[in-house]
Structure 1
Amino acid sequence: MYKNSFSIQNKEPEEMKENETASITVLPEGYISETLSITSPRDACRAAAISKGFNSAADSDIIWERFLPPDYNVIIARAVSPLIFGSKKQLYFMLSDSHILLDSGYLSFRLDKESGKKTYMLGARELSIAWQDDTRYWEWGHVPEFGPQTRFQEVCILKKVCWLEIRGKIKAAMLSPKSTYVAYLVFQLTRNSRGLSLPALTMVSIGGITNETENVYLQKPSRRSRLWRIRLDGDYSFPYRRKDGWMEMELGEFYNDEGDEGEVEMAYEEIRFGNWKNGLILEGIELRPK
């Protein structure tokens, strides 16, 4: 016994490494699958490169079933177009590689590929927009040819308003629990946009807790404008361009605890100045895990 113990302790590092790797790869596939299922999608994909045994285990439905949200069957049943998949791993990547339209086609769903947490976007038709059905102020249609592609059938295009108010809400239970989310207004500006370089107010509310942010701009004021020269006190928030070509402005951050009741409410409003505004193309409000 002492001799065997002594010989193990004096093995060369490379020999030890080879033995350790061999001992891992001979584990039963079911044991490996159970172990990988408590890691993460990224770890499971990395483990697949270790050996054939790990590769087989990493493709197991046992693993990917746990990476999918508990209500994934309900979600895919609401998809506008049926989802056809051969394994839970394939389903996971279908849900994380593209946006899936649900219900009427004005709500999109996607999984965060690394964490498996849910992302939703409320299309413009799912939002409450002041005077949205008055054709003097707004029109519904497709994005102009020069604009980015949208995942929805329609967007809401601002013709002119002096009171700009956009609100949305979603059930907290639809989001991943124990997760911090950020809500974003997703939009585009036309070449002749006007009146959108005014400081606005944004709000996110959940469980009776409301967070408001002031001095939010959809468009940076011109350096020659009165607002730029005044340099209002406080922080400024400006939008930035996404990879898909749309612009997004952060509305606020919130923590979804158990998420079993109540709603998350979000809002953007610029109603203080009374200036006429036009040239806003609204795609929706997106909620992404942080």
Structure 2
Amino acid sequence: MGASFSALFIDQDGLPSVSSSSSTLGDLPETCVASIIQHLNPPDICKLAELNRAFRGASWADFVWESKLPPNYQILVHKILGFVPQKLGKRDIYTRLCRPNTFDSGTKKVWVDKNTGGVCMSISSKGLQITGIDDRRYWNHIPSEESRFHSLAYLQQMWWFQVEGEVEFPFPTGTYSVFFRLHLGRASRRFGRRVWDSEHVHGWDIKPVRFELWTSGDEYSTCQCSLGEAGRWFEYHAGDFKVDSPNSWTKVKVSMTQIDCTHSKGGLCLDSVLIYPTSFRHRLKHNGLLNCSKPCCHLLN
């Protein structure tokens, strides 16, 4: 977009002609600019705000950011911040929601994707119920720079593998997908380089892991998947759920189990459970992060 433009007029013959006087973008009324930029995504709005005073002022208009906020943003803000700020403009509210906001004693983070406005959530390993987590012969919580929570659960060896999680949250209307973020092998850094230890990795290729999902809307899905390539983080799809009412609270329960006691399994890092808008599955697949060999079976109770 240039720094100036020439105004077009229609002459007596009905043909466009260029006026002798030129106007700059700064001459546009802020309300006019705001009406245009509200159709752009937030990063582009912020870039245009650097052009001049008119675009900068328009970029703060409440009605521009009202269209970017989730429909139930007031409920979200109250849940995340504990109050609804009265003096903050809509752009400030959007900025706060785009940050990873922690709640439930630091075991959960929720944020709004700055490009799409979709609500995302991450539940840490410490926010999940893990069978045997208190016995250090089997599980350990270890520090990690590769986790949003700077900590993950590491399984050395166990026969009975079971992980469950639950959250109740006012998700905006839409369809969401649930993933377990897992890593075979223990990753670390040595001399500034990422390395991983496969010492305890075993048992995951014998029988598949079962992922299950339940919601308060009587939705249920299940799928089985063999854990694949070691040394990389993957998101394993546990199922999808739909939210129809923006003002309701949806309860989501998930589980991951491998309870065939004919063999032991170990060497697994469990970081978190992720809840994304379903459209994000294409992004994960494109980035090579999505890993599940079989599709989920979705049922209504």
Corresponding residue pairs, total: 249
Displacement after TM superposition at 1:57 (Å): 0.2
Find out whether 1:187 has 2:182 as its counterpart.
yes
Question: Normalising to structure 2: TM-score of the pair?
Answer: 0.67
Q: 1:9 to 1:133 in 2, by over 3 A?
A: farther
Q: Among residues 188, 202, 205, which one is paired with 2:211 in the alignment?
A: 202
Displacement after TM superposition at 1:41 (Å): 2.3
- Identical residues among aligned pairs (%): 23
Aligned to 2:188: none
AA partner of residue 237 (structure 2) = E
For structure 2, which runs of at least 5 residues remain unmatched after alignment? 1-8, 186-197, 280-301
Find out whether 1:54 has 2:55 as its counterpart.
yes
- Identify the structure with bigger relative contact order (alpha carbons < 8 Å, sequence gap 6+): 1
Find out whether 1:11 has 2:16 as its counterpart.
yes
1:265 and 1:37 mapped to 2: Cα distance? 37
AA partner of residue 209 (structure 1) = E
Bigger fraction of residues in strand = 2
Alignment of 1:1-290 (within 5 A): 7=12, 9-11=14-16, 15=18, 28-30=29-31, 32-33=33-34, 36-37=37-38, 40-42=41-43, 44-45=45-46, 48=49, 52-69=53-70, 70-71=73-74, 72-77=76-81, 88-89=90-91, 92-93=94-95, 95-96=97-98, 98-143=99-144, 148-173=145-170, 175-177=171-173, 179-190=174-185, 191-192=198-199, 193-197=201-205, 198-206=207-215, 207-214=217-224, 216-220=225-229, 241=232, 246-258=233-245, 260-272=248-260, 274-289=262-277, 290=279
AA partner of residue 181 (structure 1) = Y
Displacement after TM superposition at 1:133 (Å): 2.5
Q: 1:63 to 1:276 in 2, by over 3 A?
A: same
2:253 and 2:13 mapped to 1: Cα distance? 62
Displacement after TM superposition at 1:167 (Å): 1.8
Q: 1:67 to 1:211 in 2, by over 3 A?
A: same
**RMSD, matched Cα:** 3.7
1:23 and 1:66 mapped to 2: Cα distance? 28
Give CA deviations for 1:115-158 in whole Å, capped at 9, x if unaligned.
21211101111112222223332222323xxxx43222532221
Which one is further off, 158-167 or 114-123? 158-167
2:106 and 2:13 mapped to 1: Cα distance? 63
Question: Normalising to structure 1: TM-score of the pair?
Answer: 0.70
Q: 1:6 to 1:37 in 2, by over 3 A?
A: closer
